[in-house]
Amino acid sequence: MLPQGYCWTTPQQFNEDIFEIAQGILPGNFNTFNYGPNKPAPEDQDKPWIRTDNFGNFDRLYTFNGLWVSPNSDPPSTQERRIWVGSEASVWSFDGGDGSDPTATPPTDTTGAMWQVDHAFDFRIPMGAGTNPIAYTPNPATTLTIGQTLGEEKHLTSVNELPAHKHLSPMIVSTGSAGDLNEAWEDLQGSEAYPTTQHCVQVTGSTFSTLVHPYTKNNTTTAVAASVLNPVVGVFIIRRSNRIYYTVP
């Protein structure tokens, strides 16, 4: 306080005297925040901690709430996805995770894996949702919605998918009896290849008028589906778990 009998001579002098008595110095060192690599003392837990490594590089800003915590900038369980080329187990310790399997040990706000594999993408190639600008006749344009799955690894061609084509086949031209015709036809069907000397068998006789029989050789092999898979490289698609905070052990 101002001394008894104080009387200022100028307004400037009065201001300076007021500010002088309003200031005070306490012994010791005091800060409004914690700074450095070391965990603050219990008496300083009411102030935020700007944590650094031992070289002075910034880590994160922590506050004390039973333990020192700092929220991940990516919200928990967000719809963001990332590509991961390591093992699935290595995801569990990524970005501050404690390395535990999120399936066996579900994450909490402050413990568990920070990221985990999104198995909805197993053996799937991401594609932008929307409608194909090309419509293939006679089908309408294909539309892909979020989370919808389409496509196949291998495809077995159906008869309707075959292009128009022709087969050259030997023929039986008959003007003979029914017995002669049937015998020749059976012989030709049992053959494993086309006749080597001619592309038709003629049976002579006088009973039948000319008949033409196309020859069909049955396919005895098993149809194999053809691969329609694009060239790919295996990765994991990962997502944020429901863990919220980084913590300091």
- pLDDT tens-digit series, residues 14-54: 878 887 777 666 666 667 899 999 999 999 999 999 999 99
Residue 154, classified by CB atoms within 10 Å of its CB into exposed (0-12), middle (13-18) or buried (19+), is exposed
Q: What is the CB-side half-sphere exposure of residue 215 using CA atoms within 13 A?
A: 22
* pLDDT tens-digit readout, 58-111: 999 999 999 999 999 999 999 999 999 999 999 999 999 999 999 999 999 999
Indicate the pTM of the whole model.
0.66
Residue 186 DSSP class: H
